[in-house]
Chains A and B, each alone.
Chain A
């Protein structure tokens, strides 16, 4: 199962857990799994079945470029981080 690192302010929705394991071959499937366990968590990450524009997802250290279709491996580490812009 992939490891999802929960953003600090959202750990209240995972009982304080910083890392949770979740199944899924894509981000969509992984978020579906998370949603079943922590329904309040995913509302802050996903909107209208897409990753919120204010959030970027890092899968194995690489910023996802395929949104919810981003592939996730069983040994992947997934981070939700603020999206940012450069100058």
Chain B
């Protein structure tokens, strides 16, 4: 692995030109830099506001005359809406307005680009307020605005809805069965022609000759895996305050991962021009992909328009679980083959993901990631996006990849065992590197997969001996694409020589710090002299969602370019003042120097007060559609102890290694790795949407929807691997997602070593594991009895 050698800010900027002349990549240039700010661990700029309670989250917004909204939700999983009667509710004193889907324009049934997603406006609108049919327990039907939340709630009870209940379709098996009840009457797929269906899309990826591949295999493992639907579990429920003005403009205050997406999606639902909506980002208490779409935001504007007052809506925890977007449960049938010497030769995979009520599961991503860490010569992967009577799924940290890796990484562990090879060595033997083909075809550019596996192999954890009864160690790997997309940034140089860096990326994981550090590095000033600001949709250029692990990569690239723009202007300004040519002046460590003999150096702080008399303000700008995305890999090692009498799994130790490219703020990279691992552990062991036979969600609170707490988790060791991404000026890759991918498979592999049981479903909760242990004991006893 490269280590930074020498240089400073000037080297960073000038070396860029030199590198270009020498044909080096930007990341190679960055790799030679000795950063002063990047790679350090300063206190986060928003820390004081957060710990003192001054930070304003969505529910903290309040305006004079504000009304409170509540949403009526379906008590049925699948039903026709025959009639909605609102007259009694409207008559309740304090109730100011009630809206149903009749108040929304009819949306088109088509696919439209919306940020990182393709969105069907008709489905989006019908998910905000059901149109003629409810498709899941908790589906929104009507919304009330009243003078208090209690009156609004009371009014919900007075709305009468006449339903015709239909049979619920809760699993992909049930939805794909011949004669299954159809959820969406006009849903079609290309293969079934004009036949109504619950299968929205079929994906297929193919390489080589699978049949011949299996013929060449010495060992074949074939298994079926099932994973439960799980929620992101962000602590802050959804919220929105909508203010509609008489001039036709509207403002939305909300907690979201993407202000521009809220603007676009709300405009689609409301039938309002995008430019008439302004979205102001509140602080966000977690999102993990779940806050990349809209639920309450259009309703707040609709109710505000009807009442002429600001309207605030907030969800309860039960509403979050019932009616926002969890990630898919899935069924995966997988068959993989390897030669005796441990070479993967074939994979055949069938996977179906629950999309929820409307199309759009991450099965395509699952299919593209399931063997992504490996060079498999022959594979056939079929993926199906299936609608079921559950909430419409949304993104969740590396969407689709965790389900997929649970299957493939368990089977790979089994193949390694059959070959008699250490599971990490098996991965190294088959692992992808620069030039290896991706599942979708193009070769990988520079990647750090093997380095993550080596990092685990050389870790104190893997080198330690695990002793004791009912204990086991498991490893697994994970891949995620990461994203680029559009970002904008402004760097303002203030009269005192400090700076502000303005972006449109809501800060979920500490990105304010990363943005300030990048600007500080380029300008050569302390990070504490840079104030990071997250602006609203009218105050910054278009910026896509804080998702896809893209902010430090893409918005960071925009900040880097905007800071360089400001630096260039500073150099020009100093040159002008000194009557020199710009190429005779350089910016180094926050000081402007003339090359050779000349004027004494001047700091930015000294130059800045003179801006009004030397040409005006200096503002650096950049807007880009980022290219050069560097994919991420992670490898995890987990030790468990299983209680054979109860099936309870205790995580004893966990270590994760991840390629960050370049860690701008290592503490926040480690935080992402630990957070992803913690969520992966929750997914593996306890989390699950539990529906009854009628399709009603039975665990709508965090007591019953069991997320891990600090009592369930050990300290998670994070090993940052840095293989610079050649597509980024600082070598950055996205770091926010991939660490969630390996834990379920790593835990399943550890459970196997502790108990001899191969788990093939999540959650591997005590009842399920105990059942599997008892079945295993019974088979072993029968085998012994049979001789």
- Which residues of the partner chain B approach A63 to less than 8 Å between Cβ atoms? 484, 627, 629
> Interface SS of chain A: helix, strand, loop or mixed?
loop
- CB pair A61–B627 under 8 Å, yes or no, is no
> With A86-B481, A86-B482 as given contacts, are A77 and B111 in contact (CB-CB < 8 Å)?
no
Q: Which of the residues A5, A62, A84 comes within 8 Å of B441, measured between beta carbons?
A: A5
Query: A-B pairs with CB below 8 Å: how many?
Result: 106
B190–A44 CB distance below 8 A: yes
| Chain A residues whose CB sits within 8 angstroms of the CB of B400 once the complex forms | 84
A28 at the B interface (CB under 8 A): no
B204 interface neighbour in A8, A44, A77, Cβ under 8 Å? A8
Residue contact B111 to A85, C-beta cutoff 8 Å: no
CB-contact partner of A52 in B111, B396, B482, B627, under 8 A: B111
Contact between A65 and B118 (Cβ–Cβ < 8 Å)? no
B368 and A81 contact, CB distance less than 8 A: yes
Interface centre among A44, A47, A61, A63 (most CB of B within 10 A): A63
Those of A14-61 within 8 Å (CB) of chain B? 44, 47, 52-54, 58, 60-61
Task: Determine if A82 is an interface residue (Cβ-Cβ < 8 Å).
Answer: yes
Shortest Cβ gap from B514 to chain A (Å): 17
CA of A39 to CA of B391, assembled, Å = 38
Whole-angstrom distance from the CB of B295 to the nearest CB of chain A? Answer: 16
B634 to chain A, nearest CB (A): 14
Q: Which residue of A lies closest to B115 (CB)?
A: A85
Smallest Cβ distance from B348 to chain A, in angstroms? 13
In the complex, the answer to whether B399 meets A86 with C-beta atoms within 8 Å is yes
Among B285-308, those with CB < 8 Å from A are 287-290, 292
In contact, A85 and B440 (Cβ under 8 angstroms): no
A44 and B117 CA atoms in complex are apart in Å by 18
**Does A84 lie within 8 Å of B481, measured CB to CB?**
yes
Rounded to whole Å, the gap between the CB of A30 and the closest CB of chain B is 16
A65 — which chain B residues lie within 8 A by C-beta? 484, 625-627
Q: Contact mask B25-44 → A, CB, 8 Å, 1/0?
A: 00000000000000000000
Whole-angstrom CA separation of A87 from B672 in the bound complex:
13
Interface segment, B47-55, B141-149, B546-554, B760-768?
B546-554
The B interface, classified by DSSP as helix, strand, loop or mixed, is loop
Question: Using Cβ atoms and an 8 Å threshold, which residues of chain B touch A52?
Answer: 111, 118
Q: Which residues of the partner chain B approach A9 to less than 8 Å between Cβ atoms?
A: 190, 202-204
Q: Are A85 and B484 in contact (CB under 8 A)?
A: no
A62 to B481, CA, bound (A): 12
Report if B395 contacts A (CB, 8 A). Answer: yes
With a cutoff of 8 Å between Cβ atoms, the chain A residues found around residue B365 in the complex are 82, 84
Question: Please, which residues of chain B bring their CB within 8 A of the CB of A7?
Answer: 204
Nearest-Cβ distance from residue B330 to partner chain A, whole angstroms:
15
Q: Which of B71-106 contact A (CB under 8 A)?
A: none
A9 to B62, CA, bound (A): 53
Instruction: Please tell me the size bucket of the interface on A.
Output: 20 to 34
> B565 on the interface (CB 8 Å rule)?
no
**Is the Cβ of A86 less than 8 Å from the Cβ of B627?**
no
**In the complex, are the beta carbons of B202 and A87 less than 8 A apart?**
no
Interface: B526 (CB within 8 A): no
Q: Which of B117, B288, B480, B482 has the most CB atoms of chain A within a 10 A radius of its CB? A: B117
Which residues of B462-483 have CB atoms within 8 Å of chain A's CB atoms?
480-483
B273 at the interface (CB under 8 A from A): no
Q: Are A86 and B364 in contact, CB atoms less than 8 angstroms apart? A: no
Closest to B544 in A: A85
Within 8 Å of chain A (Cβ to Cβ): is B206? Answer: yes
Question: Is the pair B289, A87 in contact by a Cβ cutoff of 8 Å?
Answer: yes
A58 touches B441 (CB 8 A): yes
Interface 1/0 per residue, B360-372 and A, CB below 8 Å: 0010110010000
Chain A residues lying within 8 Å of B482, measured Cβ to Cβ, are 86
Question: What residues of A have a CB within 8 angstroms of the CB of B288 in the complex?
Answer: 87
| Neighbouring B residues of A61 by C-beta, 8 Å | 442-445
B residues near A83, Cβ cutoff 8 Å: 116, 118
Q: Is the CB of A86 within 8 A of B549?
A: yes
CA distance A5 to B206 in the complex (A): 12
Pairwise interchain contact B117-A85, C-beta atoms closer than 8 A: yes
B368 A86 Cβ-Cβ under 8 A: no
Q: Which residues of chain A are near B190, meaning CB under 8 Å?
A: 9, 44
B690 at the interface (CB under 8 A from A): no
Contact across chains for B111 and A87 when beta carbons are under 8 A apart: no
Contact B232 A87 (CB under 8 A): yes
Given contacts A44-B190, A63-B484, A79-B441, contact A87 B368 (CB under 8 A): no
Contacts A52-B118, A86-B549 known; 4 new A-B pairs at CB < 8 A: A8-B206, A53-B114, A85-B395, A86-B547
Interface residues of A (CB under 8 A from B): 5, 7-9, 44, 47, 52-54, 58, 60-63, 65-66, 77, 79, 81-87
Q: Can you report 10 A-B residue pairs in the complex whose CB atoms are below 8 A from each other? A: A58-B441, A63-B484, A63-B627, A65-B484, A84-B362, A85-B399, A86-B116, A86-B480, A86-B548, A86-B550
